């Protein structure tokens, strides 16, 4: 027994020295851990049950070493094998457990073991438990720990109230965090920073600024961390005035030497507020900008749509990369591609895509989303599809981009195809994908598909979403299901302008102009201001129903509202005047239109009405204007032929028709489709490829035969009736 005592007493100083050396070692963590475990084993072997109890000092040294190395299983094993661990031993392991969500749940039973051992928890014990609660977001456990701290009298300590602040902030309880702060007797800089960060995090910028002013009033100088936190709140809310005031304080402060994170926070604030001139000046004053600085300024240019300056900044970054090894990452390319998406793809988008491939970032979902958006913006859906198919990992944003991109370009069938595949892949649809799919069914006049999507909307819980509701109203209105459109419209609590426009356009396009006008009046009474789409719907309704005076009234209202008429407004108004026989007024309107020299369609509309009213002089003038812009347009030549025919000039008709036959042009065939048994069948002129073409021809012959038979029967009846009368 004496030999065991002598052996342990001899080894203890050596073991303590070895543990201290390992604790301060700069070797890789795995190498340190490999050396620490033999010390642990030697400690266990050297302190057998027959030997004296091992000293807690040596145990605590090893526990601290395991904690620093994040070797939680080893720390727990050592603690449990120690006969009489001290409260410091428990605190060390509790602190290690509370640092990660993986091990944090084990902190609670260990804290109960501390209680059961008869030891009294200390302030660090409570801090570790509160940190574990914050990591796991266990709000109820946090409230219990708060009560425990009050019972143990730790609310007056220096560290527990700050730990409570951090816990409530992590658990999403800013109100409780502010209450804890207000009840604190002494507040250091860390506490002030915690409460300000909590308020900024949850969007209470005004409250955070009041805390900042309170900190200044008591003479406590804010740190770089304080300012960075409040500036991030200004950036998030777009509070440029407050951000400028903070910047001014930073410049005037003699005690503060702005570090790089603070300079980046200032840069981000100006970029988020769209003040790129100030952002550029801040960026130029950063002595050695890091990649965060470069990414922030590029993202700022992207936010204001300044693609050229974003590209110029990227070129500067590439020049720095060659000398300082500051390689662009996925955030750099994502911001840059977004910034240049509106520029011609051949100038920026495609070269950037090449740079992405060169940097090995093409597999990045983050970058892939921006590249796909860039190709759709440049109306290159084929390039977007090629890139999409190459990416192995596709998130819901990428699928939504494919649905929305094809929908915007009028490729409704492909949009719905990708939407279906998205569901098959198990992705959860959102309001953007649903709205895009509904817009596609509206353009395709696919009522059945629209109804199925309505069911999907109800299933997904987006019936109350204003964007989805607007798309539903638009889909039903364009499909002529005005009752369904009005039913959906009635469920929207506060319809936006899109909903109103869809309803007005739906009723107007389907001949119910009075309902369209009534809805417009209701919209105005509701306080909404009409836009150019509203007036297109109103003018179109007037044109369909021949309401000239009403159309002139809405034209005047549109001009009074300061809306500049576009091509569609002029189209509706010229059609309205021409159909009413007011051909001279239509000519005057076209001449005043900025679209007269760009769009021959306006002159064609007038020419068509001239044929109807046999106004040869105005018709010839309209034809000359239209043919001046598009000499080979067959539809214009046909209208001119009809004009000559209407006034009996048959020689001119023959000459024009001969000229038309000489024009070598190919007209894109018209398409029609029908949905039968959940399958959409598409037909085109001279279509010989459809699988049921023979059945279609037989059916047409049968219908034609029935029509001939019906016509014959009607003639016989009329003859018999005439005979009976005679």
CB pairs under 8 A, 24+ apart, for 158-161?
A: 158/123, 158/186, 158/188, 159/123, 159/124, 159/127, 160/123, 160/126, 160/127, 160/130, 161/191
Task: Quote the CA–CA distance of 134 and 132 in Å, as a whole number.
Answer: 5
- Across the chain, mean pLDDT equals 86
SS (H, E, C) 205-243: HHHHHHHHHHHHHCCCCCCHHHHHHHHHHHHHHCCHHHH
Distance CA 408, CA 415 (A): 9
Closest of 478, 486, 436 to residue 456, by C-alpha = 436
Closest CA to 81 of 118, 30, 46, 29: 46
How many Cβ atoms are within 10 Å of 564's Cβ, its own excluded?
A: 9
Domain annotation for the chain: domains and CATH numbers: 565-671 (1.25.40.10)
Q: What is the pLDDT of residue 359?
A: 87
Chunked mean pLDDT (size 10), the chain, 726 residues: 50 71 77 77 60 65 83 86 87 91 92 90 92 91 90 88 93 92 89 91 89 87 87 89 90 82 93 93 92 94 91 89 74 90 81 90 90 92 93 91 93 92 91 92 85 91 90 90 92 90 90 92 92 93 91 93 91 92 92 82 90 89 88 85 86 82 59 64 67 78 82 66 45
Question: Within 10 Å of residue 206's Cβ, how many Cβ atoms?
Answer: 13
Residue 718 CA: distances (Å) to CA of 11, 15, 705, 714, 724? 127, 122, 20, 6, 10
- Burial of residue 513 (number of CB atoms within 10 Å: 0-12, 13-18, 19+): buried
450 CB-side CA count, 13 A: 27
| Contact status, residue 208 vs residue 237, Cβ threshold 8 Å | no
The C-alpha atoms of residue 612 and residue 296 are separated, in whole angstroms, by: 63
What is the distance of C-alpha 676 from the center of its chain? 36
Per DSSP, the three-state class of 330 is helix
pLDDT at 48: 47
Helices 56-68 and 87-97: crossing angle in degrees, nearest 10, is 10
- The two tokens of residue 726 are 């005679």
**The predicted structure's pLDDT at residue 726:** 39
Residues 6+ apart with CB under 8 A from 644: 650, 652, 653, 656
**Residue 256 CB neighbour total at 10 angstroms:** 17
The region that residue 670 occupies, defined by phi over 0 for left and psi between -120 and 50 for alpha, beta otherwise, is: beta
pTM of the model: 0.73
């Amino acid at each position: 027994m004496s030999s065991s005592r002598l052996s342990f007493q001899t080894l203890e100083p050596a073991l303590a020295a070895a543990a201290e050396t390992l604790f301060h070692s700069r070797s890789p963590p795995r190498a340190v851990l490999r050396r620490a475990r033999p010390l642990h084993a030697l400690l266990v072997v050297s302190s057998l049950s027959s030997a004296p109890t091992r000293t807690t000092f040596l145990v605590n040294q090893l526990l601290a070493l395991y904690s620093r190395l994040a070797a939680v299983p080893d720390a727990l094993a050592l603690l449990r094998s120690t006969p009489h661990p001290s409260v410091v031993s428990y605190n060390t392991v509790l602190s290690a457990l509370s640092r990660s969500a993986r091990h944090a749940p084990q902190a609670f039973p260990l804290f109960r073991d501390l209680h059961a051992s008869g030891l009294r928890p200390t302030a660090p014990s409570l801090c570790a438990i509160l940190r574990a609660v914050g990591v796991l977001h266990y709000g109820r456990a946090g409230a219990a720990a708060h009560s425990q701290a009050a019972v143990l009298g730790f609310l007056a300590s220096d560290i527990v109230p700050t730990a409570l602040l951090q816990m409530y902030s992590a658990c999403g309880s800013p109100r409780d965090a502010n209450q804890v702060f207000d009840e604190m007797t002494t507040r250091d800089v860390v506490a002030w920073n915690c409460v300000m960060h909590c308020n900024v995090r949850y969007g209470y910028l005004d409250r955070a600024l009041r805390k900042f002013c309170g900190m200044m009033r008591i003479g406590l100088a804010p740190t770089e961390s304080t300012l960075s936190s409040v500036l991030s709140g200004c950036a998030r809310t777009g509070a440029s005035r407050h951000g400028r005031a903070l910047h001014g304080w930073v410049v005037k402060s003699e005690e503060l030497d702005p570090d790089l994170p603070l300079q980046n926070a200032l840069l981000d604030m100006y970029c988020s507020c769209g003040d790129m001139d100030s952002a550029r000046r801040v960026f130029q004053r950063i002595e050695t900008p890091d990649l965060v600085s470069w990414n922030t300024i590029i993202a700022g240019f992207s936010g204001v749509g300044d693609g050229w300056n974003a590209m110029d900044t990227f070129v500067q970054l590439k020049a720095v990369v060659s000398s300082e090894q500051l390689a662009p990452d996925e955030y750099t390319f994502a911001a840059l591609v977004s910034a240049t998406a509106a520029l011609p793809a051949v100038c920026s988008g495609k070269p950037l895509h090449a740079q992405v491939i060169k940097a090995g970032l093409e597999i990045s979902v983050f970058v892939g989303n921006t590249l796909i958006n860039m190709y759709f913006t440049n109306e290159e859906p084929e390039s977007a599809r090629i890139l999409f198919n190459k990416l192995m990992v596709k998130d819901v944003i990428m699928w939504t981009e494919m649905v929305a991109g094809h929908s915007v370009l009028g490729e409704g069938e492909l949009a719905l195809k990708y939407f279906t595949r998205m569901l098959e892949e198990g992705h959860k649809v959102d309001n953007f994908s649903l709205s895009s799919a509904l817009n596609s069914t509206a353009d395709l006049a696919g009522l059945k598909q629209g109804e199925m999507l309505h069911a999907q909307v109800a299933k997904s819980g987006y019936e109350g979403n204003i964007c989805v509701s607007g798309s539903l109203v638009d889909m039903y209105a364009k499909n002529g299901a005005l009752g369904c459109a009005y039913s959906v419209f009635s469920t929207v609590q506060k319809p936006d302008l899109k909903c109103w426009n869809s309803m007005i356009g739906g009723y107007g396009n389907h001949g119910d102009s009075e309902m369209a006008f009534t809805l417009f009046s209701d919209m105005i009474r509701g306080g909404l201001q009409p836009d150019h789409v509203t007036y297109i719907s109103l003018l179109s309704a007037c044109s369909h129903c021949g309401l000239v005076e009403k159309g002139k009234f809405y034209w005047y209202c549109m001009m009074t509202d300061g809306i500049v008429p576009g091509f569609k407004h002029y189209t509706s108004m010229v059609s309205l005047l021409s159909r009413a026989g007011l051909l001279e007024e239509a000519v005057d309107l076209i001449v005043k239109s900025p679209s007269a020299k760009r769009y021959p369609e306006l002159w064609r509309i007038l020419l068509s009405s001239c044929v109807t009213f046999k106004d040869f002089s105005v018709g010839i003038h309209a034809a000359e204007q239209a043919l001046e812009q598009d000499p080979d347009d067959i539809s214009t030549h046909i209208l001119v032929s009809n004009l000559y025919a209407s006034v009996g000039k048959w020689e001119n008709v023959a000459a024009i028709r001969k000229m038309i036959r000489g024009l070598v042009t190919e007209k894109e065939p018209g398409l029609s489709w029908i949905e039968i048994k959940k399958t959409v069948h598409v037909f085109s002129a001279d279509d010989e490829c459809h699988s049921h073409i023979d059945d279609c021809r037989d059916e047409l012959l049968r219908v034609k035969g029935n029509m001939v038979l019906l016509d014959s029967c009607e003639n016989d009846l009329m003859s018999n009736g005439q005979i009976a009368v005679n």
